Amino acid sequence: MKLSVIIIARNEEAMIRDCLESVKWTDEIILVDTGSTDKTIEIAKKYKAEIIEVPLKKPDYASWRNKGLEVAKGDWIFYLDADERVTPGLRREIEGLMKKREGSAFAIPRRNFYLGKEVKYGGSWPDYVKRLFKKDKLKEWRGRLHEEPIYEGELSHLKESMLHLTHRDLSSMVEKTRQWSKIEADLLYQAHHPPVTWWRILRIMVGEFWKRAIRQQGWRDGTVGWIEIIFQMFSRFITYARLWERQQK
C-alpha cells in the first residue's frame, strides 16, 4: 500500500522545506503550485516532488485539491498544507493503519500555533481536519474556500496530532484576510445575502467576540489569545464591509 501526499502552496519558500522534510518518507509528493514567484518550486524539486502548476485566476481550493487527486498514484491520499508538519507519532499511526487496511476517511487533530505560541482555546483545540483517505473512497472536493471532501464510508479520528504553524506574523495575517475576505464576500453576495446595515455589522462583530472570547474562552491563551479574538472580529468586519461595498454596486 502506497501513500501520496498532496500539498497546495504559493510563495511558501520560508515554510515549504520543513513541510516536505516531515513527509519525505511517503511514496509520492505532489505539489500543486498556484503561481509561486519565489523558490517554492525549486525547493520542492529537491525533494523529488511532482509539480502541478495551476493558474491563479480565481482561488478555488476544491479544484486545486482535485487536481492533485487526479494525478496521485498512491493507494492512500494525504493532504497537507505548507504551514503544517507531520510528527513522528503521526507518521507511525498512519503507517500502522495503512498496514491494517481499515477505514476509508480520517480526521487528524492539529496543535495550533499563533505568533509562535501554542494556543488551546478560542476554537483551536481540539481542531480536527479531514486529510487522510483511501483513494478509491475519496470522490472529490467541493467548495471554493471552505472546501469539504466527498467520500464513501465512515469518518474515523486519529489520535496523534500534526503541527499547524498558522498566523506566524501580523503582516501575513492581514494579507490572508485581504485575500480571503474578498472571496467570502463574493460567495455571500452570490448566495443573495440580505442587505448589509450598520446593525448587522455590529451584530456580526459582537457575535464573533462572544464565540471566541466567551464560549471558546480564547482569553485563556493570554495576550496572543486576545490578539486573535480582536483580529477575528476585524476579519469578519472586513468581509461584511466588502459585501456592503459589493451590494452598493
Helix (H, G, I), strand (E, B) or coil at 75: coil
* Cα 124 from Cα 212, distance rounded (Å): 10
Domain residue limits, the chain: 3-164, 170-248
Per-residue confidence (pLDDT) for residue 121, from 0 to 100: 87
**Residue whose cell numbers read 480536527:** 128
- From CA 230, how far away is CA 220, in angstroms rounded? 14
Whole-prediction pTM: 0.89
Taking the C-alpha atoms of residue 137 and residue 132, their distance in angstroms, rounded to an integer, is 11
Of 1-15, 30-44, 56-70, least confident by mean pLDDT is 56-70
Spatial CB neighbours of 78, under 8 Å, sequence gap ≥ 6: 3, 4, 5, 6, 23, 26, 94, 131, 132, 133
Distance CA 114, CA 111 (A): 10
Q: Which helix (H) or strand (E) holds 242?
A: helix 222-248
How much is the average pLDDT of 223-237?
A: 95
| Range 205-216 average pLDDT | 94
| pLDDT (tens digit per residue) in 166-197 | 888 999 899 989 989 999 999 999 999 999 99
> How confident is the model at residue 155, as a pLDDT?
96
Q: Output the average pLDDT for the chain.
A: 94
pLDDT confidence bin for 125, thresholds 50/70/90:
low
Between CA 97 and CA 102 the distance in angstroms is: 6
Query: Domain 3-164 classified CATH 3.90.550.10?
Result: yes
Percent of the chain with pLDDT over 90: 87
> Which 8-state DSSP code applies to residue 139?
E
pLDDT greater than 80 at residue 237: yes
pLDDT at 72: 97
